[in-house]
Amino acid sequence: MKALLLTNPGPIEIADRLELVTMDTPEPGPNQVRIKVSACGACHTDLHEVEGDLEAKKLPVIPGHQIVGTVDALGQGANEELLGKKVGLAWLYSSCGKCNYCEKGMENLCSQGRYTGWHVDGGYAEYTIAEADFVYPIPDGFGDLDAAPLLCGGVVGFRALELAGIGNIKKLGMYGFGNSAHVAIQIANHLKAECYVFTRSKEHQAHAISLGAKWSGTAEDDPGTTMDSSIVFAPAGRLVHLGLQALKKGGTLILAGIHMTPIPQMDYSMIYNEKCVKSVANATREDARKLLNFAASIPIRTDIEIFELAQGNEVMRRMKKADLRGGAVFKIA
């Protein structure tokens, strides 16, 4: 099979980090399925892996965790009804199911959790292996390419919205407007929140307005009001200060990235008025199921740019420059 392989992480502007290779097609083990991949979204987490911001768990590794495809082989013990089904695979590859976190429905915090494209090979390939209990049916009405961004950007955005109290707030701030935010804003609008989008890109500002944002500008601009809650999607620690300044008393600031540059020192007064800062750590299978149900019922529409696997390094460079509208998706089969 063809795949993009990461062997030597480092700055993407200095050298190509992803190599298009031909390798053996994997076989599923017990309770696993093999997915013939048709589409895989590119996530900012992939860029952090490629550049070495995230410590490698496996090298070489095939990145990619927003995977859509068809189950074409079963391992022993896997549900036979999955064979031939269109499914998605997300960031959470597996959890132990036995620890205190898993028993409380917090498998996103499982110490034995493994993640797709990080601990195990992911979806920048023609085939990938998944645990049968960690794949999701794709809702009717979604093409494979359109569904791919839902499986991480969508899921993490949904979890961030829930932590922000969506459904019980009137004004929501969003810092950064990429793959995740362009899905989250559609859910927020559906739940009657006014959305204020802070992004440095003029194109992203226009994109946000086209998707229903009440206002859009840079993080330094004054939107003329304060937020009940805000979500920081961009991996820039300096935005924490700006996000807190724009919050109402008692407001919540959600940090939705897996990696962020250092947060500058700040005075206690910035959080004194019972302001809360909370991170999003991965996501659970229940988050994915809820998001996919929302996606079908609203319905959510993803904005994507389509690429071939051979363009992997180009995608990473454009992502680093915030030069993508919505989500980048590799068309594989």
* 143-196: pLDDT as tens digits: 999 999 999 989 999 999 999 999 999 999 999 998 899 999 999 999 999 999
The structural domains of the chain, ordered by start, are: 2-149+301-331 (3.90.180.10), 154-279 (3.40.50.720)
Residue numbers of the chain with a pLDDT score lower than 50: none
What confidence score (pLDDT) does residue 257 get? 87
What confidence score (pLDDT) does residue 74 get? 98
Distance CA 150, CA 153 (A): 6
What confidence score (pLDDT) does residue 178 get? 86
- What's the predicted TM-score (pTM) here? 0.93
